[in-house]
A and B are shown apart, each in its own frame.
Chain A
Amino acid sequence: MVFLIRLIRKNLFIIVYLLLMIFSISQVIRFNIYQQSYFFNTSLAFFNGMSRLKTSVTDYFKLADVNKALAEENRLLRESLNNNNQLPDSQQITARDSLGQKKYSYFTANVVQFTTHLRNNFITIDKGSNQGVKKDMAVLSPSGIAGIVIDVSGDFSLVLSVINSQFKATPMIPAANFRDGSVSWDGQDPSVIQVNGVSRFEKILPGMDVVTSNYSIKFPSGISIGKILRVSKTGGSSFYNIDVKLSTDFRKLSHVYVVNYRQNAQVDTLNRSTNRGN
């Protein structure tokens, strides 16, 4: 016992260092393997205040681009208005079920904090459980997809950004009539993501649009992901390497929409009864 105490006292510095490392690495592992959010994140009030101070300044520099994105979105919305079309297009059919109820409802939210320089990036928004935001809701930017809510506090929520190693979504390439594979980010350029699992026998060309698939539960179908930038093949692999230029500019994110899928409870119950995730 005396020997043990002496050993601890002799190596106390190394032991304290190892304890600190275990604490901080456990945080990283908790996120990377179990997808749980960190202990210290920006849904805490103090750090949130700091972030809001920062965005209150940086928002001014983004105003021009944000206005442009919102105007472009308004144009698209005007084009898809009911009285603009003679027949309801497919978009409208998927947005309503047979009884004519709305399938999705949207909350608007302001971005309080975001990062683009990390491998795992998050977005903090100023709507939380008090406003009806729940875990696993999809988040859209005016020009495309933005992420998924993973943690909710009273008035704020933490969003897993598209440019995060844990983000996955199912893409659809309408021009090639392809709806499979997955979208993920390789950690390099925050404006380019990758589509994996596209068979090399499909006819995929640069410039094609990539949108969210109608198989996806979290995201409404047909939301823009981006445009194909490069298509390449590696020898021996039966899949393409596809780089997609994101339609959302994460460096200039300022306003987002949180998507509330109204039948989520039913889908959840179904999935739970068959013991499936997603």
Chain B
Amino acid sequence: MAIDLLKYLFGAILVILVQFFLIQEINFGSWLKPMPYIMFIFLLPFTYNRFLVLIAAFLAGIFMDALCNSGGLHAAACATLAFGRIMTDTKILDTDAIQLQGFRYLTPEYKNFRFYALYVLLLTFLHHWVYYTLDYFSVSSFFLVLIVSIISSAGTFVLILLYKLLANIR
């Protein structure tokens, strides 16, 4: 358990640093701002305490905020993502059955790819929507925020899949 936790901590720091040093430096255009660092929240096992997941996501958000001077944007969005994931896992998914099949967290191999894509895309959209709503902080840019978060969610999802591919090659 302790070694497992260390592994996740290391992984989380790694994806955050990649986000800070690399992804944010790339100019994809003004509507596409992917944030694939949130993938570590999807990788936490179902068995972890829900408070641990929530606090870990929040701390990762605060860390990210302090690095790029964004106040509480990442913190609020990551906390919402963790909250959303816990709620989906407990209220919608049957996590006991998934764990019995040998999955510690949801992967594309469980059921089919479409199921996994829906799960990740919806939660990613939730994260991005909270992030951009707080970032723009005005009611008049509601539709702009919606468009930016939809496009960025798609970008984030593609990058998460790329990360997964890289991990599989090893």
Contacts and interface: CB of A to CB of B under 8 A. Distances in A.
Interface of A: 13, 16-17, 20-21, 23-28, 30-32, 38, 40-42, 44, 47, 50-51, 54, 57-58, 113, 115-122, 124, 158, 165, 187-190, 251
B159 to A, nearest CB: 15
A118 B134 CA distance: 11
Interface residues of B, number: 36
Interface string B59-73: 001100111111111
A16 B51 contact: yes
B69 A13 contact: no
B79 interface: yes
B123 interface: no
B116 interface: no
Given A16-B51, A20-B58, A118-B135, A50 B69 contact: no
Nearest to B57: A20
Query: Lowest 10 CB-CB distances: which A-B pairs, in order?
Result: A24-B72, A27-B72, A40-B66, A24-B76, A24-B75, A27-B71, A38-B71, A122-B69, A119-B135, A47-B66
Given A16-B54, A28-B137, A117-B24, A42 B75 contact: no
Nearest to B72: A24
Interface string B73-117: 101100110010010000000000000000000000000000000
A221 B118 CA distance: 55
Nearest to A187: B136
Which residue, A20, A40, A44, has most C-beta atoms of chain B within 10 A?
A: A20
Given A20-B79, A28-B76, A188-B30, A115 B71 contact: no
A157 to B, nearest CB: 12
